[in-house]
Amino acid sequence: MHFDHVGGRHTKAPNASLCTKPEMSVDALPETNAVRIAFAKGAKIVTGSEMPPFFAAKLKALGGNPENFILARFGATKMVGGVKISTVPALHSNGLQPKMIGGDPGKAMKAAGIGGYVGQATGYILRFTNGLVAYLSGDTGMTAKQDKVVRGFYHANLAVMNIGDTYTTGPKEAAFVINEMIKPASVIPSHANEPATKGGKVRAGTRTAIFQKAVKVPVHIPLSGETMSFNGAGVCTSGC
């Protein structure tokens, strides 16, 4: 539920700034970017823990359908548009900042220096009809469930792994998770917290470069405006 995931601010227009110096002039609180997007697109959002009631209330306040926020707690699976969506535990704090609550309750929480707890942080498993099983780690540290649940039960063959260090797994820790615990066919690094590329190439000395060198499976670097496609075995087939 942190700002950089649900969205506390956003740019004034697409491509309005650079990764090295993001322009975040538009305030999206107390609704959040996630709720505003769901409202604009009529989209369904699947979340775990105690998060759906918060999102649903915000969506309803905008005039949207609160039932578009769907709960999938650990071990449960929801089908949305042919995709099976499950949540898995993530090892991370999950506090709701007072700004997201707003009003007098938000002011009181800010004065006390506390945030609202909305349940354990989650990662996601997406199972597609072609056989692709994608693991979205979210913000997380290393956890044994990445071995026993993500690999052992869901058999994830594509991982989107956070490598940012400090707030999530660092690049070497994330590489261990990929090499020794999940063992997917390929991986996309995320949440690097750095300008990782220049001219479409990974910059030397970055966390992304350290991760790419340490991982034993193909590492596919996400680039702005580029779409990647994966087959049912987790192998990148285009945009790689």
pLDDT in tens, 78-95: 999 999 999 999 999 888
| pLDDT at 192 (0 to 100) | 93
For residue 200, is it within any domain? yes
Confidence of residue 118 (pLDDT cuts 50, 70, 90): confident
Q: How many domains does the chain have?
A: 1
CB-CB contact of 150 with 182 (8 Å): yes
Confidence of residue 96 (pLDDT cuts 50, 70, 90): confident
For residue 92, is it within any domain? no
Structure-block tokens of residue 75: 């071990």
Give me the mean pLDDT over the 120-137 stretch: 96
Confidence of residue 112 (pLDDT cuts 50, 70, 90): very high
Element spanning 51, H or E: helix 51-61
Give me the mean pLDDT over the 172-179 stretch: 98
Element spanning 197, H or E: strand 197-198
Element spanning 122, H or E: strand 122-127
pLDDT over threshold 80, residue 181: yes
For residue 152, is it within any domain? yes
Query: Which string of b and e fits 44-82 if b means at least 16 CB within 10 Å?
Result: ebbbbbbbbebbbebbbeeebeeebbbbbeeeeeeeeee
For residue 211, is it within any domain? yes
pLDDT over threshold 80, residue 237: yes
| pLDDT at 167 (0 to 100) | 85
For residue 120, is it within any domain? no
Picking from 50-59, 130-139, 151-160, 206-215, which range would have the lowest pLDDT averaged per residue? 50-59
What are 15-43's pLDDT values in tens digits? 888 877 888 999 999 899 999 999 999 99
Share of the chain above pLDDT 90, in %: 75
Picking from 119-123, 126-130, 140-144, which range would have the lowest pLDDT averaged per residue? 119-123
Range of the domain at 176: 128-240
For residue 8, is it within any domain? no
Give me the mean pLDDT over the 138-158 stretch: 97
Picking from 31-35, 151-155, 181-185, which range would have the lowest pLDDT averaged per residue? 31-35
For residue 225, is it within any domain? yes
| pLDDT at 62 (0 to 100) | 94
Give the integer Cα–Cα distance in Å for 157 and 154: 9
For residue 106, is it within any domain? no
| pLDDT at 49 (0 to 100) | 86
Share of the chain above pLDDT 70, in %: 100
On average, the pLDDT of the chain sits at 93
